[in-house]
Amino acid sequence: MACLAPQLTAATTEPTPPLGSIYHVSVTSDHVPDVSSLAAWKKAFITDGMSDRDKAIAIWRSITTFKQQDIPPCEFLTGDAGDVHDAIKTFNVYGYGLCCCAASNVEQLARYVGLEARGWGINGHSVSEIRYDGAWHLFDSALVCYWPKADGSIASVDEMVAGVTTWLDQNPQWKADFEKLRPLAQANGWKTNGPEILSRTTAYDENGRLVVTPWHGWWANIAEYSGPGNGPNGKAGVYDYGYSQGYELNIQLRRGETLTRNWSNKGMDIDMDGKGGRPLCLGVNIGEDFMSYSRALGDLANQRVGNGTTRYQVGLADGSFRSGALVADNLACTSEDKAAPAVHVRDGAAPAQLVLRMPSSYVYLGGTLAYDAVIGPKGAIEVSLSENNGLDWKSLPKPAASGAQTVDLKPFVCRRYDYQLRFSLTGAGTGLGSLTIAHDIQHSQRALPALAQGANTIHFSAGAQESTVTVEANSNTAWKENQHVFTDFHPVCVGLTDGTMRVAGGDGSVAFPITTPGEMTRLRFGCNYRARDARDGWDMQVSFDGGKTYTTVDHAAGSTGNGSSKYVVVDKIPPQTREALVRFVGTQRNTTMISIVRIDADYKPANAGFLPVQVTYRWTENGHEKSNVHLAKTADETYTITCAEKPVLAAITLEVPAK
């Protein structure tokens, strides 16, 4: 099995690195629910004693709170046009998405808390239902609406379609042009002039417009529930929108590493390269235009799209680079031998290597590698980058001579959350005088720990000292130009159609190797899949002995119609495990395939533990700049920031101070 990064045998023993990294750094405020993970979301929105109806409404409300209906971000990891279909990622990284994204979010969150959920494809729109009290109930978290019936219960899609089509059969003059219905909605006319099933919602204003999209309203809903859709015979039909699951916010900091998240943007987003559509909310202020409703849901941000930065100034001369590296082999630093440059080849007769992993909880939009190269008389420096957990490497521009070097990382890291950098050095006197790695990132302003006028309770914590190695890729190799595809992670494929994870004949399988740089603590994995026949399906298996034996963890069963999603957690890992195989074994009589796959291997990093973290807030009050700097000295601290006037938020920065 391939290792995460190559290991060299040094001519001399390397110094033992000190504690140098902290994981699961969290800063929350009492004004913004914590949605950093599925567990955190559940704690924030689902309380003991809730009825299933209350849970369903809480699910709907949480999505409408953290997701704006807009042109969706495209990571090209899912089969549905590449849209992001992960509720926790949407909440934290983007804050916007289309109706199919919202429907997938409802399915994901409902199933996570044990409720049955499904999606629907209706006329030009995607919605979802949650089942409770023995019936299905429609929740449209994209357009922020649902429709109560006369008895107070919430209507299903079937009931909506029946009510609308019955009314249209009685009023056929409106079928040709639904836009002509607009005048009937004026002055609350929508309550009496149209289908009775639409008459009790609170989602419309007095003129029948929806607050989330004022150009959309009662007349458009009549069109959407008029019968057509992507179901059988062109009618509205059940449709699973599929989701990825496993992302969580895990802020990781090393000495010299800084994360800044801004309540502003520089006009940058994941689709600025033209491969996807740009979000309309990019330049819209909260409280204005179609974002006007967001204030009522507690949004204290300035806008929705945030552009932040990460910066890692690697500590070379003092040796602190060792504690943040995957590999630091045959290297010495100035503090150890008083020689220059800051870090250099220890034994000139042997090769030296420095490998750094660059994980991020926020999607990279671009990056810059800046370093000062020092090349000895018979030396060389080669720099390479891995986008697939160290399995393969791409060469970066090679310095021809000593001096300052700058490399544009955007072609390699855009749309990525993790990569590795490798410096291979040879020759006495060869080394690095300085090394800085910086990125532009995208994050949602909505989920940041915002401040309001008055006293703000801020909670700092450092959770489990764990990191994660992830395998997530598109299931079709035809998408390789835009994103990772599944074959990039070196799976063993048996009986699959070329270039896809679709079973070619009766049986097939795909086994992914995954390796962690520290002791593995759990595996979280699953897929969105299709198994059309009741006898079709996928066994979800793991092996910890190199594939000699496999254990079946669960079964993703048919029949699914167009698809379903299933994710599992394996926390019984043999001690000292660093390698595993995750295998999906498919049986096919009709159609068996995987559309979305994600595997997360959590592990204990070396040199991990609590380090003091400096938290800096910046904002203005009546045009006057304000700031608060707090040094968290323990893993669980609560403090107060008081704003005398309404604050205009600027940024929050997290960093581990230098020694």
Q: What CATH number labels 309-442?
A: 2.60.120.260
Query: Does pLDDT of 180 surpass 90?
Result: yes
Percent of all residues in the chain with a pLDDT value above 70, rounded to a whole number: 97
Band (230; pLDDT cuts 50, 70, 90): confident
Give mean pLDDT, residues 79-105. 93
The pLDDT tens digits for 31-45 are 999 999 999 999 999
Give mean pLDDT, residues 173-180. 91
Distance of alpha carbon 402 from alpha carbon 516, whole angstroms: 35
Distance of alpha carbon 98 from alpha carbon 118, whole angstroms: 17
Q: Cα dihedral sign for 282, 287, 293, 299?
A: positive
Query: Does pLDDT of 13 surpass 60?
Result: no
Return the pLDDT at 215: 80
Smallest CA-to-CA distance from 473 within 525, 406, 405 is with 525
Query: Does pLDDT of 611 surpass 80?
Result: yes
Query: Does pLDDT of 12 surpass 50?
Result: no
**Topology alike, domains 37-238 and 309-442:** no
Strand 21-29 to 454-462 pairing: antiparallel
Percent of all residues in the chain with a pLDDT value above 90, rounded to a whole number: 92
Band (103; pLDDT cuts 50, 70, 90): very high
Domain 467-604 adopts which CATH fold? Jelly Rolls (2.60.120)
The pLDDT tens digits for 288-341 are 999 999 999 999 999 999 999 999 999 999 999 999 999 999 999 999 999 999
**Minimum mean pLDDT among 79-88, 490-499, 513-522, 527-536: which range?**
79-88
Higher pLDDT, 17 or 208: 208
Query: Does pLDDT of 421 surpass 60?
Result: yes
Smallest CA-to-CA distance from 263 within 427, 452, 423 is with 452
Listed by start position, the domains of the chain span 37-238, 251-303+447-461+612-655, 309-442, 467-604
Return the pLDDT at 79: 67
Q: What CATH number labels 37-238?
A: 3.10.620
Return the pLDDT at 20: 86
Computed over every residue of the chain, the mean pLDDT equals: 95
Band (7; pLDDT cuts 50, 70, 90): very low
DSSP string over 376-441: -TT-EEEEEEESSTTSS-EEPPPPSSSEEEEEE-HHHHTT-S--EEEEEEESTT-EEEEEEEEEEE
Give mean pLDDT, residues 388-406. 97
Give mean pLDDT, residues 451-463. 98
